[in-house]
Amino acid sequence: MSFLLPKLTSKKEVDQVIKSTAEKVLVLRFGRDEDAVCLQLDDILSKTSSDLSKMAAIYLVDVDQTPVYTHYFDISYIPSTVFFFNGQHMKVDYGSPDHTKFVGSFKTKQDFIDLIEVIYRGAMRGKLIVQSPIDPKNIPKYDLLYQDI
């Protein structure tokens, strides 16, 4: 399913997308195409991308091809999803110590849609951190995820 979403394969491409995406939430999924959890997340992202097209731009980023960003965002678990708005990194309080990224796959398409709506509304009001609308029981715990990066 991931073939439906655009891929970024270099730091230069990621930089360009961050700088050029305006008035939309930029969703960057860091992971690997062959990883099972990444494929599960990619399926949710691709199925919701047309519904969210006015609010969000979704891209897949390979962790092995963008080590600068993998290190910068401290991506040690995949998939990890990072959000931006008008070039500004958007943080989300998931009730976990890390507000910089969502780790793992979303349980449902609706969880992802709700999160994008909250980030979009918060960003339009000038907020840099928003409260996650996702039920805490649907937020993966780190120790359940892969550590093979």
Per-residue confidence band for 25, with pLDDT thresholds at 50, 70 and 90: very high
Q: What is the pLDDT of residue 71?
A: 92
Structure tokens at 96: 């976990």
**pLDDT tens profile 48-78:** 999 999 999 999 999 999 999 999 999 988 9
| CATH numbers and ranges of domains, the chain | 7-135 (3.40.30.10)
- The Cα 126–Cα 46 span in angstroms is 28
Q: What is the pLDDT of residue 147?
A: 46
Q: What is the pLDDT of residue 19?
A: 96
Contact 42, 97 (CB under 8 A): no
**pLDDT tens profile 89-147:** 999 999 887 899 999 999 999 999 999 999 999 999 999 999 999 988 888 776 544 44
DSSP run (H or E) holding 113: helix 109-124
